[in-house]
């Protein structure tokens, strides 16, 4: 089918299916690259990147005061992200929820929701600022580490991606649905990721088995027990696609007179406690959980969900197995590492490729920051050389400035200065013309020349650059590793469940009975 129109200078005949296809493809690509999929280098989507950059521009750093979230959202929408305020605020809230992200990038003050599924307060009531982890993501952004582009109306500039000194994609994970594709990456432990990165620097051809020995599986912010076979875990990380069985963490608590109860202390990732309790209550009412007598939520600051068995003769493991099979105390967490690669092309990557992409990004950031620093040192040395001319010929310089209408050309001609040096001399303050200042300038020149030589050696030696990257990773490991409260592993690596089926006898309550047989052949049972 074609769009019929008269051929004139300003109209063109085009098939409708082609026009729709081109426009839908443009929309799909925009959704994939600019909204739904994270970049493999910094692990962020555009909205998260813009939130962090806007908060940095507002100087909302750790140790400073909080600002209303409405102010942050307003800056993001007005300058960088022309979308709905609800979507932007929801993204901000998630970055601050300790039960939603493994390493929060935003520190919130006020009601930011809870594990029961309650939503956050309105943005006019809540306040926020960046965390130390977020600062590590932004480290080097003022040192030409990444490219910038104009915002949507050309009045501001924004970073295309973050320098990201932390491997955020694996540390915090990501999820999103684009057009025709989706991504789902579970969070991991930063200590283990850093170990894998360090090993990959030393051994670029490291096997997936070795990497998994250092990084055995996901580490969810809500804890739980990873109950998956090693074969499935290996396959998922090698191909970038798979799923993991995650179970709630529980223990048996002894009571008086031989009674006992089960206490659930950790829930699977993204399972809302209130909805789980409602679901279990519905199953009990429908008599689909005959071994369970009652469920109570005694949670306060810590999670404490009480499960009471119908009889003390029931095995706790069998009771929990029935609950795992019928409720969200066991869930499957999918993994689909579909990300934008270094060329901004969406594709599924395996674990080794994701780690190597981050290392390549850090190498590029190091080269760019080093080059930028060398340029600044060169410019500073040029200015300092001009200052030394002043102190060696102080009286003559002052005479030229006092007596000449155009002193700048005279200074350039007299001592063969550059334009930058002459301008710096003319902008000097009188208080700088001290003998002590001359000593400080000489000392600064020596320090800068020493740093310049070290940086030039670094730029010429790739091995030194990788050693520097390994040191950066080691520093990140110290800041956010297992020795910190934030870095301790929360998800326990457990054994996969056995294939045994819950016996039907386990569903029957055990109680003493008396069986009576009559002379006529009748049979009946009496309790007791």
Q: Which two tokens stand for residue 482?
A: 């297992």
What is the DSSP pairing of strand 513-517 with strand 523-527?
antiparallel
Tokens read off for 350: 């395996």
Say what angle helices 190-202 and 351-392 make with each other, to 10 degrees: 80
Buried b / exposed e over 315-353, threshold 16 CB at 10 Å, is eeebbbbbbbeebbbbbebebbbbbbeeeeebeebbbbb
CB 188 within 8 A of CB 219: yes
Burial 185-212 (b: 16+ CB within 10 A, else e): bbbbbbbbbbbbbbbbbeeeebeeeebb
- Which residues, in sequence order, are bridge partners of residue 258? none
Q: Which two tokens stand for residue 178?
A: 């684009």
At residue 170, φ and ψ (nearest 5 deg) are -80, -35
Neighbours of 447 (CB within 10 A): 11
The token pair at 462 is 């790739």
- Look up 237 and say whether it is catalytic: no
| CA neighbours closer than 13 Å in the CB half-sphere of residue 462 | 4
Catalytic residue among 125, 133, 152, 237: 125
Given a contact cutoff of 8 angstroms between Cβ atoms, the answer to whether 162 and 364 are in contact is no
The phi, psi pair for 490, rounded to 5°, reads: -105, -35
Note the maximum CA span of the chain.
139
**Whole-number Å distance between alpha carbons of 356 and 200:** 8
What is the C-alpha R_g of the chain?
A: 32
Q: For tokens 């490729």, what's the residue? A: 353
> Per DSSP, what are the bridge partners of residue 305?
264, 297
Contact 527, 516 (CB under 8 A): no
Active site residues: 125
């Amino acid at each position: 089918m074609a769009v019929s129109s008269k051929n004139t200078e300003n109209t063109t005949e085009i098939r409708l299916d082609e026009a729709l296809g081109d426009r839908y493809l443009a929309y799909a690509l925009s959704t994939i690259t600019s909204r739904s999929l994270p970049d493999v280098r910094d692990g962020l989507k555009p909205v998260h990147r813009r939130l962090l950059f806007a908060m940095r521009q507002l100087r909302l750093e750790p140790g400073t005061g909080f600002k209303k979230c409405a102010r942050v959202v307003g800056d993001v929408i007005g300058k960088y992200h022309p979308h709905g305020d609800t979507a932007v605020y929801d993204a901000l809230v998630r970055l601050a929820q300790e039960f939603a992200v493994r390493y929060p990038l935003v520190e919130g003050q006020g009601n930011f929701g809870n594990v029961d599924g309650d939503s956050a307060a309105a943005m006019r009531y809540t306040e926020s600022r960046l965390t130390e982890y977020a600062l590590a993501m932004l480290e080097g952004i003022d040192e030409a580490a990444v490219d910038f582009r104009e915002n949507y109306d050309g009045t501001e500039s924004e970073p295309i991606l973050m320098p990201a000194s932390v491997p955020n994609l694996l540390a915090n994970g990501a999820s999103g649905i684009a057009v025709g594709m989706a991504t789902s990456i579970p969070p991991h432990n930063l200590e283990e990721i850093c170990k894998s990165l360090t090993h990959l620097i030393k051994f670029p051809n490291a096997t997936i088995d070795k990497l998994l020995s250092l990084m055995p599986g996901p580490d969810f912010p809500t804890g739980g027990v990873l109950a998956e076979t090693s074969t499935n875990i290996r396959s998922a990380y090698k191909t970038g696609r798979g799923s993991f069985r995650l179970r709630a963490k529980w223990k048996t608590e002894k009571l008086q007179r031989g009674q006992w109860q089960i206490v659930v202390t950790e829930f699977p990732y993204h399972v809302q406690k209130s909805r789980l309790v409602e679901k279990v209550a519905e199953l009990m009412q429908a008599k689909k959980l005959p071994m369970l007598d009652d469920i109570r939520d005694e949670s306060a600051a810590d999670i404490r969900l009480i499960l009471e068995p119908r009889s003390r003769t029931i095995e706790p493991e069998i009771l929990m197995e029935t609950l795992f099979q019928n409720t969200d105390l066991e869930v499957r967490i999918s993994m689909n590492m579909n990300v934008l690669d270094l060329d901004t092309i969406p594709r599924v990557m395996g674990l080794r490729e994701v780690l190597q992409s981050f290392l390549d990004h850090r190498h590029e950031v190091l080269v760019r920051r080093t080059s930028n620093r060398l340029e600044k040192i060169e410019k500073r040395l040029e200015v300092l050389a001009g200052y030394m001319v002043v102190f060696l010929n102080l009286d003559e310089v002052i005479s030229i400035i006092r007596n000449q209408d155009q002193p700048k050309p005279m200074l350039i001609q007299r001592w063969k200065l550059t334009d930058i040096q002459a301008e710096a001399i003319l902008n000097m303050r009188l208080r700088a013309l001290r003998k002590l200042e001359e000593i400080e300038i000489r000392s600064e020149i020596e320090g800068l020349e020493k740093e310049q030589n070290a940086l030039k050696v670094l730029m010429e030696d790739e091995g030194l650059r990788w050693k520097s990257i390994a040191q950066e990773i080691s520093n990140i490991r110290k800041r956010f590793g297992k020795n910190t409260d934030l870095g301790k592993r929360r998800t326990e690596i457990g054994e996969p469940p056995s294939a045994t089926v819950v016996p039907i006898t386990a569903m029957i309550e055990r109680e003493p009975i008396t069986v009576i047989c009559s002379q006529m052949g009748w049979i009946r049972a009496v309790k007791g």
